[in-house]
């Protein structure tokens, strides 16, 4: 929207066009705000917001009437931008979502999959809506085994639809489920089966204003996913990211925030215990939400990324199991016939077909299993 | 405490001795936790916490009894460490605090002073107590015009005292008030009148496990205060910082988090609107709380710091006022006879003694007034 950029330039706003949109969204969502409350809501200094208000009044978008209000023209602008003026309750949608989620196959732990609870997926949508990150926006999900795209689609069926809703995932089972659900519920989700180690498809580059991602638990995984997030976002500052990532020890976390900074992002809010997972014991079934925004500077990743990104890739531990019925022994782990216990369970015991196994011993433990 | 370090080494814990203390504090504050809940409370992976539990059981500090419990020996250890086993309500203390605060002189805006509300000071204490950051700890306040040290002292009078409670401030009025209040209420606060541009006194270096700071609003101010915070903290990871700092535009905030990282800190939680101020219109009367922890790597600041750190130092704006009674004109600002309007009010009109002045014009506006 050229107009927002013009106003950002006219007022010399460091937050850019996104800052103007923030101000408009806040006015749309709060009736007759005072200038001070508006400034507090958008976290900008009062004189700066006053200058933007003046400019918006001059262009007949805002008017003063016992507080700051949108004119008819302003209401049309807000509507054209897709800004949602009030939030939709998602409670009645969670049961539909649970039915869809029920069709999801077992987690593939080699991909660091751990399915977020349905409440978590909707919590993400509600949280992002608070920051005007979905309605009327181009939204992309960098990996989506949590089916957050479906939660977004269901939540915005009646109003506040994203302009474009895109999912990338490496797991064909995830892409299949989202594709069929999107068709069934007319959610308009574009799905791409894609390995993020390869560059983004050209039609997805520099095109989004909001990104969701819940990367693998490793630093290299975080780096790859954030690099692709940065690549997907439009240029300019204030584009939003919703990054779910577990707590780490201080030195590892130091690296986490260096990576966030390196790819041009700034953490704006960190909320502990935001995400809960059905699986995911590696990260203790919970992780934090780090809301990030882009700055104007971005780093670029070399096109192809060849480092290992999943926890298991760095983990050389193997485990020995016995079948609980016939006592047949199995070694599970990297370079074994079964990569993890889920794979062994799925295959069943080759002697008796039983699917219950008891852990006997860890054979070797890698240093990087955190 | 050597024991904590020994256990951290024995269990190869990346969080170090502070991580062991975290685990003990969590057990002390929560009855009969399960291993999984303990792991979630301290944000560490379950197998890691299991290894620490084993070591603490071997040393007869923990025992299992329908959950994880402290032994008699464990209770003594926790008490020796000064870990507080339950939190004290602070409501009845706020009125005492308000009386003390009432004696505080006017803000000196050239020092970027803006007094936090009494509720804010106590909110900081309650928040830090949740993370076991005060009781039995060496606590330092890098600047304290908010009188948070007094809130800490009042809150911990009966139980959960810090081992050492130290305040540094450049404003003699702040130091005088804290010193006299400490004497009156036996709060044991050590006060130092100190310009942070000079190195810390040697007896304060590398001696604290918790730091509170609410720096000037500039990047150089943040850098100086965080550098001194880092210098004050004990070596090793997991030492805690409670940093109050206002929101900035994305590019400036990018620098904020680079500085946090550069001085060896990691943001663990960012809470918007945590601090409210009586003055402080520059930052819109509110700021966020950034809870940070140290990593093992720290940067060191060159001993003397000569860059300007206060907002006004970079702001070359001047304002012209007229006396509301006699109409005498005054220019206020840097290099004028009165540096800011508060100074002019304090002096009064040189013609008629009146203390009310009307703003006529801004003469020149600097670029850095944010």
ipTM of the complex: 0.75
CB B148 within 8 A of CB B125: yes
Distance (Å) from the alpha carbon of A198 to chain B's nearest alpha carbon:
28
The class that CATH gives domain A91-294 is: alpha beta
Q: Do A237 and B250 touch (CB under 8 A)?
A: yes
Distance (Å) from the alpha carbon of B182 to chain A's nearest alpha carbon:
35
CB A66 within 8 A of CB A35: no
Task: Rounding to the nearest 10 degrees, give the CA dihedral for residues A116, A118, A119, A121.
Answer: 60
Beta strands in B33-182 (DSSP E): 62-64, 68-70, 138-142, 164-169
Cα–Cα distance between A249 and B19 in angstroms, integer? 9
Q: Where in chain A is the domain with CATH 1.10.10.10?
A: 2-81
Among A40, A252, A267, the residue with its CB nearest the CB of B284 is: A40
Q: Do B270 and A272 touch (CB under 8 A)?
A: no
Judged on CB neighbours under 10 Å (0-12, 13-18, 19+), B117 is middle
Q: Do A294 and B40 touch (CB under 8 A)?
A: no
CB A248 within 8 A of CB A256: yes
C-alpha distance from residue A139 to each of A5, A198, A207, B63 (Å): 20, 20, 9, 50
Which structure tokens are listed for A101?
């989620």
Q: Among B39-53, B227-241, B330-344, name the one with the lowest average pLDDT.
A: B330-344
- Helix-helix angle A16-29:A2-10, to 10 degrees: 100
C-alpha distance from residue A122 to each of A151, A272, B121, B251 (Å): 6, 17, 34, 30
Interface-testing mutation among B11, B17, B249, with chain A (most A C-beta atoms within 10 A): B249
The nearest alpha carbon in chain A to B292 belongs to: A250
Distance (Å) from the alpha carbon of A335 to chain B's nearest alpha carbon:
23
The nearest alpha carbon in chain A to B16 belongs to: A249
Q: Do A267 and B257 touch (CB under 8 A)?
A: yes
Cα–Cα distance between B181 and A197 in angstroms, integer? 61
Interface-testing mutation among A15, A16, A250, A288, with chain B (most B C-beta atoms within 10 A): A250
> Mean of the pLDDT values across residues A274-294?
80
Q: Which chain B positions have a beta carbon within 8 Å of A127's beta carbon?
A: none
Q: Which chain B positions have a beta carbon within 8 Å of A17's beta carbon?
A: none
Give the length of chain A: 370
pLDDT above 60 (res B73): yes
- The reported pLDDT for the residue numbered A241 is 97
Distance (Å) from the alpha carbon of A292 to chain B's nearest alpha carbon:
10
Euclidean distance between the first and final Cα of chain A, in Å? 44
Phi-psi region of B222 (alpha: psi -120 to 50; beta: other; left: phi over 0): alpha
Kind of pairing, strands A164-169 and A240-245?
unpaired
Q: Which residue has the higher pLDDT, A91 or B195?
A: B195
The nearest alpha carbon in chain A to B19 belongs to: A249
CB A359 within 8 A of CB A352: no
Distance (Å) from the alpha carbon of B219 to chain A's nearest alpha carbon:
15
Q: Which chain A positions have a beta carbon within 8 Å of B249's beta carbon?
A: 14-15, 19, 44, 237
CATH number of A2-81: 1.10.10.10
Distance (Å) from the alpha carbon of A294 to chain B's nearest alpha carbon:
7
Q: Do B14 and A272 touch (CB under 8 A)?
A: no
- The reported pLDDT for the residue numbered B366 is 41
Distance (Å) from the alpha carbon of B51 to chain A's nearest alpha carbon:
14
Cα–Cα distance between A204 and A215 in angstroms, integer? 19
Q: Do B15 and A267 touch (CB under 8 A)?
A: no
Q: Do B249 and A282 touch (CB under 8 A)?
A: no
CATH number of A315-364: 2.20.28
Interface-testing mutation among A114, A249, A262, A317, with chain B (most B C-beta atoms within 10 A): A249
Q: Among A257-266, A317-326, B102-111, name the one with the lowest average pLDDT.
A: B102-111
Distance (Å) from the alpha carbon of A285 to chain B's nearest alpha carbon:
8
Q: Which chain B positions have a beta carbon within 8 Å of A264's beta carbon?
A: 254
Q: Do A251 and B19 touch (CB under 8 A)?
A: no
Residue among A42, A47, A46, A35 nearest A19 (CA) = A42
Q: Do A254 and B295 touch (CB under 8 A)?
A: yes
- The reported pLDDT for the residue numbered A279 is 60
Q: Is the dihedral of CA B283, B284, B288, B289 positive or negative?
A: positive
CB A69 within 8 A of CB A56: no
DSSP-assigned letter for residue A198: S
3-state DSSP assignment of residue A118: helix
Cα–Cα distance between B214 and B123 in angstroms, integer? 14
Q: Where in chain A is the domain with CATH 3.40.50.150?
A: 91-294
Q: How many CB atoms lie within 10 A of CB A197?
A: 14
Q: Where in chain B is the domain with CATH 2.20.28?
A: 315-364
Among B14, B260, B272, the residue with its CB nearest the CB of A249 is: B14
- The reported pLDDT for the residue numbered A369 is 39
Residue among B175, B174, B139, B171 nearest B155 (CA) = B139
Task: Rounding to the nearest 10 degrees, give the CA dihedral for residues B174, B180, B182, B184.
Answer: -150
CB B95 within 8 A of CB B122: no
Task: Rounding to the nearest 10 degrees, give the CA dihedral for residues A152, A155, A156, A157.
Answer: 120
pLDDT above 70 (res A37): yes
* H helical segments located in chain A: 2-10, 16-29, 35-42, 46-58, 72-81, 91-101, 118-130, 148-155, 172-185, 219-232, 250-262, 341-347
Which structure tokens are listed for A39?
């400034």
Greatest mean pLDDT among A76-80, A259-263, B89-93:
A259-263
- The reported pLDDT for the residue numbered B243 is 98
Q: Do A297 and B251 touch (CB under 8 A)?
A: yes
- The reported pLDDT for the residue numbered A50 is 92
Among B36, B254, B269, the residue with its CB nearest the CB of A272 is: B269
Judged on CB neighbours under 10 Å (0-12, 13-18, 19+), B297 is exposed
3-state DSSP assignment of residue B357: strand
Interface-testing mutation among B237, B250, B317, with chain A (most A C-beta atoms within 10 A): B250
DSSP-assigned letter for residue B136: T
- The reported pLDDT for the residue numbered A366 is 41
- The reported pLDDT for the residue numbered A158 is 59
pLDDT above 90 (res A47): no
CA–chain centroid gap for A182, Å, is 18
Residue A270 sits at φ, ψ, to 5 deg, of -125, 120
Among B44, B238, B250, the residue with its CB nearest the CB of A294 is: B250
pLDDT digits 0-9 by tens, A155-197: 886 568 999 999 999 999 999 999 999 999 999 999 999 999 9
Distance (Å) from the alpha carbon of B263 to chain A's nearest alpha carbon:
11
Q: Which residue has the higher pLDDT, A312 or B218?
A: B218
pLDDT digits 0-9 by tens, A63-95: 988 889 898 899 889 888 888 665 445 667 888
> Mean of the pLDDT values across residues B89-93?
67
pLDDT digits 0-9 by tens, A236-255: 889 999 999 998 889 999 99
Buried residues in B228-251 as b, exposed as e (16+ CB within 10 A): bbbbbbbebbbbbbbbbbbbbbbb
Q: Do B14 and A281 touch (CB under 8 A)?
A: no
């Amino acid at each position: 929207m050229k107009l927002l950029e013009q106003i950002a330039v006219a007022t010399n706003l460091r937050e850019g066009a996104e800052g103007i949109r923030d101000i408009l969204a806040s006015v749309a969502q709060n009736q007759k705000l005072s200038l001070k409350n508006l400034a507090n809501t958008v976290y900008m200094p009062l004189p700066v917001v006053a200058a933007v208000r003046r400019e918006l009044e001059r262009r007949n978008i805002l008017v003063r009437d016992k507080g700051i209000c949108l004119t008819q023209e302003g209401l049309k602008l807000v509507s054209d931008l897709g800004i949602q003026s009030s939030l939709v309750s998602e409670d009645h949608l969670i049961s539909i979502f649970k039915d869809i989620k029920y069709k999801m196959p077992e987690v593939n732990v080699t991909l660091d999959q751990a399915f977020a609870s349905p409440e978590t997926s909707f919590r993400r949508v509600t949280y992002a809506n608070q920051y005007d990150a979905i309605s009327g926006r181009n939204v992309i999900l960098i990996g989506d085994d949590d089916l957050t795209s479906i939660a977004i689609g269901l939540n915005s069926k009646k109003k506040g639809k994203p302009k474009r809703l895109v999912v990338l995932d490496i797991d064909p089972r995830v892409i299949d489920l989202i594709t069929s659900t999107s068709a069934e519920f007319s959610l308009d989700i574009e799905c791409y089966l894609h390995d993020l180690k390869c560059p983004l498809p050209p039609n997805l580059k520099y095109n989004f204003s909001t990104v969701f991602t819940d990367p693998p638990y490793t630093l290299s995984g975080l780096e790859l996913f954030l690099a692709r997030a940065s690549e997907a976002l439009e240029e300019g500052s204030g584009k939003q990211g919703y990054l779910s990532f577990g707590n780490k020890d201080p030195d590892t976390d130091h690296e986490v925030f260096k990576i966030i900074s390196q790819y041009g992002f700034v953490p704006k809010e960190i909320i502990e215990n935001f995400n809960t997972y059905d699986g995911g014991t590696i990260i203790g079934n919970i992780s934090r939400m780090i809301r990030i925004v882009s700055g104007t500077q971005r780093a670029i990743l070399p096109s192809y990324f060849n480092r290992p990104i999943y926890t298991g890739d760095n983990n050389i531990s193997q485990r020995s199991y016995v079948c609980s019925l016939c006592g047949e022994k199995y070694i599970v782990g990297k370079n074994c016939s079964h990569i993890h216990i889920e794979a062994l369970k799925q295959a069943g015991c080759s002697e008796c077909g039983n699917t219950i196994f008891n852990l006997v011993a860890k054979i070797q433990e890698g240093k990087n299993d955190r």
